[in-house]
Amino acid sequence: EAGVTQFPSHSVIEKGQTVTLRCDPISGHDNLYWYRRVMGKEIKFLLHFVKESKQDESGMPNNRFLAERTGGTYSTLKVQPAELEDSGVYFCASSQEVRDRVNEQFFGPGTRLTVL
């Protein structure tokens, strides 16, 4: 089992450009989460998919961020246009659904985004 995979591992772009991050969850995991760690700050929740539906997108910072999970498998997170403050490490995690219990989330290695 490869675990959660993320692509790319690093991305360096200029302010105003567009970047798309991809996450492949563990096979069979209905839950998929995006988190972000900005330098010097805590890891912050962005959004949560259950299959292809957005369960909670309360952490999305603004409308420059668009997340999709077509077909309920992999997910993409697009930032358009990128700003300097978007720099950070973007983590994806996935979990199985277990009723009435907080599920263990398995994290990917992260994508380090640098906006110049």
Nearer to other proteins, 40 or 71 (CB): 40
The radius of gyration of the chain's CA atoms, rounded to the nearest angstrom, is 14
Tell me how many residues contact other proteins (CB under 8 A).
Answer: 27
Q: Please tell me whether the peptide bond between 61 and the residue prior to it is cis, using omega within 30 degrees of 0.
A: no
> Any contact of residue 31 with other proteins (CB under 8 A)?
yes
Range 89-108, binding other proteins (CB under 8 A): 91, 95, 100-108
Q: Cα(46)–Cα(27) distance, rounded to whole angstroms?
A: 22
Q: Cα(32)–Cα(107) distance, rounded to whole angstroms?
A: 10
Which residues of this protein are in contact with other proteins, per CB under 8 A? Answer: 3-4, 31, 33, 35, 41-45, 48, 55-56, 59, 91, 95, 100-110
